Structure 1
Amino acid sequence: MTEMFTRHDASSAPEAARPIVENTQKGFGFLPAPVAYMAESPELLETFMSGNAAFNKTTLSQLEREVFILTVATTVQCHYCVAMHSAMLTKSGADQELIQALRDRKPLQDAKLEAMRVFTHAVMEGYGHVTRETMEAFLSAGYTKRNALEVVLGLGVYTISTYANRMTEAPLDDAFASFAWHAEH
């Protein structure tokens, strides 16, 4: 379906999306395919970018946010997000066993990070509803009620990007090719 959507650049993007496209290209040194495709809807692109900025300000650590993102991305089967966030985790020096377990949708050795993974799945599967036991397990692992709601924020943000990436079939950019991921069917 990629051919149905335009892979924009700064010159072809709708005017309202151009500043975001230009800033993203400066930040990465290239324009990631998801941004190039999301630029078709400046409102979608702006909402994703501002939502992502808000999610990055939460009280969750960078590693906890990345565990959350990879859990969502593998569940929704967004090949681009899995590759990109695997690359980001690798660049940040995260343990390769952790990254592989996330990519394989396997339990994590770190109990607190595993609680994030399990809780994220529970929130997704329950469409926001979680059992009292699930919430207590999340809180007992060291998270807070605020963190639980930050997971909801993250789901809103990453629903935008994963769904848009899947709809447009955003191809994996060369920068993330060595982290390619394919869902098991």
Structure 2
Amino acid sequence: MQKLKMHTIDTAPQESRSLLQSSIDNFGWIPFQSAYMAESPNLLASYQFAHDSFSNSSLNEDERAIVWITTGKINRCEYTVQAHLWIALKKGVSPEILKTLIENPNDLTGKYSALYNFTHHVVLAQGQIANEAVTEVLKAGFNLQNVLDVILGVSQKTMSTLLNSIAQTKIESQFQLKETK
């Protein structure tokens, strides 16, 4: 199989260059995932748009972290898990919540448990979300906008986990957090 190239601003297709600059502006560097995505300006633009949209969704920081990390775990993408642990900690998500999510998500309680279970269901749904799954997350105190925003977050992370599986993206040192493992 032909390998994807890890692009820089200088090697990326012209349409990806401003998108990579946006990554530098946001992170201080070009994350490896974005460097690979740059091969397709449309994928990188769609991913960044979905990321920005989900970051401004009806879910709070803790809830977004649960969606992102759960999707990464289920899709067996260590890059996604580590990157979003780093982001979650930077955004003030409790290390205890993150540790529970990583080590034993069945110990999550209340709304977090319901959100984890619903996200898990969405990731595995193959396009068909059961009415019962929606009912359960609504009973936990979420609303229909939250439900749709979970779909947005899972969709965004599915783009990246698929890309990372093809690229075999290594985790850069910035995202390697020992204390949450």
How far does the alpha carbon of each residue in 1:124-162 deviate from its partner, in whole angstroms, 9 at most, with x for none? 222243433322221111101121111112222111111
Whether the aligned pair in 1 keeps the contact of 2:9 and 2:17 (CA below 8 Å) is yes
Aligned to 2:42: 43
Separation (CA, whole Å) in 2 of partners of 1:172 and 1:55: 23
Farther-moved stretch of structure 1 (88-97 vs 54-63): 88-97
| Root-mean-square deviation (Å) | 2.1
Aligned to 2:150: 151
Look up the SS of the partner of 1:88 in the other structure: helix
Amino acid at match of 2:83: M
Whether the aligned pair in 2 keeps the contact of 1:55 and 1:154 (CA below 8 Å) is yes
Q: TM-score, normalised by structure 2?
A: 0.91
Look up the SS of the partner of 1:4 in the other structure: coil
Structure 1, unaligned runs of 5 or more:
none
Listed as ranges, the matches of 1:1-185 within 5 Å are 4-104=3-103, 106-179=105-178
Structure 2, unaligned runs of 5 or more:
none
Separation (CA, whole Å) in 2 of partners of 1:73 and 1:110: 20
Farther-moved stretch of structure 1 (49-58 vs 70-79): 49-58
Whether the aligned pair in 2 keeps the contact of 1:64 and 1:116 (CA below 8 Å) is yes
Amino acid at match of 1:67: I
Separation (CA, whole Å) in 2 of partners of 1:4 and 1:180: 33
How far does the alpha carbon of each residue in 1:104-129 deviate from its partner, in whole angstroms, 9 at most, with x for none? 35224331011100001112222243
Deviation at 1:12, TM superposition (A): 0.3
How far does the alpha carbon of each residue in 1:57-103 deviate from its partner, in whole angstroms, 9 at most, with x for none? 22111211111111100000111110111112222333223212222
Separation (CA, whole Å) in 2 of partners of 1:76 and 1:87: 18
Amino acid at match of 1:94: V
Identity %: 28
Distance 1:39 1:87, change over 3 A: same
Count of matched residue positions in the alignment of Structure 1 and Structure 2: 181
Look up the SS of the partner of 1:52 in the other structure: helix
Q: TM-score, normalised by structure 1?
A: 0.89
Deviation at 1:26, TM superposition (A): 2.4
Deviation at 1:18, TM superposition (A): 0.2
